[in-house]
Amino acid sequence: MKTHFSYWLWAPFFLSLSSCDKTPMDENKLDIPPEVTVRQIQAAFSKKTYSITDLTQFYLNRIKEVSENGPKLNAILTINPEALDIAKQLDKELENKKPRGPLHGIPILLKDNIDTKDKMPCTAGANPMKNSFPLKDSPLAAQLRDAGAVILGKANLSEWANFHSEYSSSGWSALGGQTKNPYDLTRNPCGSSAGSGVAVAANLCVIAIGTETNGSIVCPCNNNGIVGIKPTVGLVSRTGIIPISFTQDTGGPMARTVTDAAICLGALTTPDPSDSKTLAKDRVAHKDYTQFLKKDGLKGKRIGYYKSVLGTHVRLTKVMDAAVEAMRKQGATVIEVDEVLNAEAGGHSFQVLLYEFKDGLNKYFNSLGEQAVVKSLDDLIAQTYADETSMHYFDHALLKKANDKGDLTDKAYKEALSKALKMSREEGIDKVMNAHNLDAIVAPTGGPAWKTDLINGDRFGVFSSSPAAIAGYPSITVPMGNLDGMPVGISIFGHAWTEGKLLEIAFAYEQTTKHRMTPTYLSSD
């Protein structure tokens, strides 16, 4: 039977809950639209329409209601017990006209592979990590606090950022269960930043932070109809993020608008001495990316259309062709380009990930000191394979495959790394862009969300994340329409450190087309 749920039907329930301390405002009068933006919220703070504490309480109530009485999305793993205290402190600072930064008072969720020094564990969705409490904030979390964000809690994710088994279901973790797509609860949210994507789409927060190694920001944004920025590796510190790959990992913002994502990105770009990628000599970083939000940002741009990734998907091709035509109408020159990535690059990248996962995880566990609940990858394998819930659906064979690798001095690792980077950069994105004098390349981020299948695993179909992911280059995804009510996105990617130029294109396209749509919570059960 098909059923639908509505934001507005739920509103009285959200506002009447009393799960947390009572706020000064009568919560029944608090009206927060599901597509509210950072600037709208900050305008409301200025007018004293509501306080930061009011807003934080609203989102805590909404998360509770959706979890207990609404469609059980399984998007959230942990609520920050300090959220209201943080909000009250930020209210005091605002009263004294001392906002911390561009995110002052904005409720944000973090993917649960990002360290915070508070009463929340950092788990990667894994049962052995459920009582793992970091010793300090990751630089990413610290920068959000410095910018004034209210960290609401931690979002569910594909366990170990989906680097655990030979096949898996995106959005599933042993600790949090299967995250569900808010447009159709039977469909997959993609991952690994599944909870982050679902939470933003379903208005459980204003912005969320995801991480990507290959597709883990852009794919859940595609499946959940939101905007995501996968920055150049090195723009955002990875210290204190449970790793897969030193070469490919990055954190990035996920939001309902390009503007909100850009505001958040600017708060995350402080270099980190503990992350050498952020110290690159050619690094280009800004504290304010809203300077690139130009409605005529497509005018004069030369854009490559990476069409071959569509294969034979006729209906998605029509949506993508319409997006390209919209860009042309805004003054862009769009030309079809050949393959952007050598097919062998993926195999080399996978070998790099295996080596770097082993090295990175062991270093992360060691960083937790004596209180570490998992001491090493060896220990993780032993605990995981002894846990019935962890092993019920998936084999976790990648943990063993990674553990069988040597260290980062191995010749095989160095050769795989060199080939992956060369094929994706000078023989890939850079070669194609330079040959055609391009400002960016566009492609469908993915097809519509597939049916979640815990028995057979994911069926991705169309996806285009690999060129930018393997190269470590930036990519932005924006909603570009839907197929039968399921959202699909367009990815815009290019040379390293060109986030500003990509934002010009993304913002102009978004403002012209406005394809973002709120979820319907359809259930086909």
Q: List, in sequence order, every beta strand (DSSP E) within 158-301.
A: 172-173, 177-178, 207-212, 227-230, 250-255
Residue 111 bears catalytic tag? yes
Q: Could you give phi then psi for residue 154, rounded to 5 degrees?
A: -120, 135
Residue 168 bears catalytic tag? no
Bridge partners (DSSP) of residue 336 are: 305
Catalytic residue among 51, 64, 111, 501: 111
Q: Could you give phi then psi for residue 253, rounded to 5 degrees?
A: -80, 150
SS (H, E, C) 424-442: HHHHHHHHHHHHHCCCEEE
Contact 78, 112 (CB under 8 A): yes
Q: Token match 């204003």: residue?
A: 206
Torsion over CA: 13, 15, 21, 26 (sign): negative
- Written as six digits, the tokens of 171 are 């959005």
Cα–Cα dist 149/252, whole Å: 15
Tell me how far CA of residue 251 lies from CA of 43, 400, 482, in angstroms.
Answer: 28, 26, 27
Cα–Cα dist 261/265, whole Å: 6
Catalytic residue among 51, 132, 216, 464: 216
Contact 314, 447 (CB under 8 A): no
Name 160's Cβ contacts closer than 8 Å, sequence gap at least 6.
124, 125, 126, 242, 244, 399
Contact 144, 268 (CB under 8 A): yes
Catalytic residue among 51, 132, 158, 192: 192
Sheet hosting strand 440-444, strand order edge to edge: 76-79, 150-155, 107-111, 207-212, 250-255, 227-230, 475-483, 486-493, 440-444, 302-305, 333-336
Tell me how far CA of residue 72 lies from CA of 8, 66, 233, 452, 471, in angstroms.
Answer: 17, 6, 34, 15, 37
Cα–Cα dist 38/59, whole Å: 14
Q: Token match 């220990």: residue?
A: 379
Residue 51 bears catalytic tag? no
Residues annotated as part of the active site: 111, 192, 216
